[in-house]
Chains A and B, each alone.
Chain A
């Protein structure tokens, strides 16, 4: 099938930096103001108070976090705000050594999916782990939220600095 492959012209990074090829650059003004919306708006307001909340579906009975105003499985409105604990269990984690633009980090981050106590089984959120040696983190580890002091909270997911081991 070689004959069906077009011989595309391959460039190296130096072809750009040394001016061997013509190009244009453009920086889009891609700045957004997203509405948090009803469910996440309340979620953020509760985070500011140092609380995690979920939403209950009257049809399937799930208590869901992140909260949502409709259950995507039943396609029905959810009906109740449910206070949750700020403890949970690590469902999975990674030890990340790079930033999004592939620059290496000085201190690795430990992102994790954490199932929150009080929500239905398997209901996790994405957050970071801290105050823990990356080598001892394991799936199933019990963790607790470490909150910013009230005066520093702004109604954001980062009002929780990270989760740390319970033990």
Chain B
């Protein structure tokens, strides 16, 4: 017998089942706190601007990744944008067919260097195209909790 010893009786092979018992609790962070509070309280998007790189980050960042400056200039940005790219999702995480296909897009927000990944809604998946102009649709103010899901979806303008 050696390292190459083989299993001759498959019923002797053994799997050992287990879990890693963790769950994660993520703070939204210093920049994220202000971003999501604006969404929750006012249904608005804010970004941070790097004056030396002339970039507006949305979601906002505490620092500029290019020049490493602390970003302290907050600017309100539009809740409108353009579809930079999209996909139509037919299956859930376990591979089951979704009742309705979902359109997932990266929306570049107007006047910024950033954007959000989110669903598109109120639109036929066949009619979605890159470059399409869209706007954010928020949940009612009372239902918002300071989360990306406070935005229901983006819809065509």
Contacts and interface: CB of A to CB of B under 8 A. Distances in A.
Q: Which of A22, A24, A80, A81 has the most CB of B within 10 A?
A: A22
Size class of the contact patch on chain A: 20 to 34
Given A22-B27, A23-B28, A36-B14, A41 B7 contact: yes
A155 B23 contact: no
B67 interface: no
A97 interface: no
Contacts of B25: 16, 23-25
Nearest to A100: B21
Interface stretch (A26-34, A106-114, A123-131): A26-34
Interface string B1-42: 111110100001111111111111111101011001100100
Given A22-B36, A36-B14, A28 B22 contact: yes
Contacts of B17: 31-34
Nearest to B93: A29
Given A32-B17, A34-B16, A41-B13, A77 B24 contact: no
Contacts of A23: 25-28
B18 to A, nearest CB: 6
Main secondary structure of the interface of B (DSSP, over half): mixed
B146 interface: yes
B11 to A, nearest CB: 10
Size category of the B interface is 20 to 34
B4 to A, nearest CB: 8
Contact of B19 (A30, A38, A70, A80): A30
B147 interface: yes
Nearest to B24: A26
B16 to A, nearest CB: 5
Nearest to B27: A23
Nearest to A101: B21
Interface in A88-116: 100-101
A38 B3 CA distance: 9
Interface string B80-111: 00000000000000000000000000000000
A149 to B, nearest CB: 21
Contact of B20 (A30, A36, A38, A40): A30
A5 interface: no
Contacts of B18: 31-32, 34
Contacts of B2: 69, 77, 79
Interface string A32-71: 1111101011001100000000000000000000000110
Given A35-B16, A36-B13, 14 more contacts: A22-B32, A22-B36, A22-B40, A23-B28, A25-B24, A26-B24, A32-B17, A32-B18, A34-B16, A38-B5, A41-B7, A77-B3, A77-B4, A81-B1
14 contacts: A21-B27, A22-B37, A22-B40, A22-B147, A23-B28, A27-B24, A31-B19, A33-B16, A34-B15, A34-B16, A36-B14, A38-B5, A69-B3, A79-B2
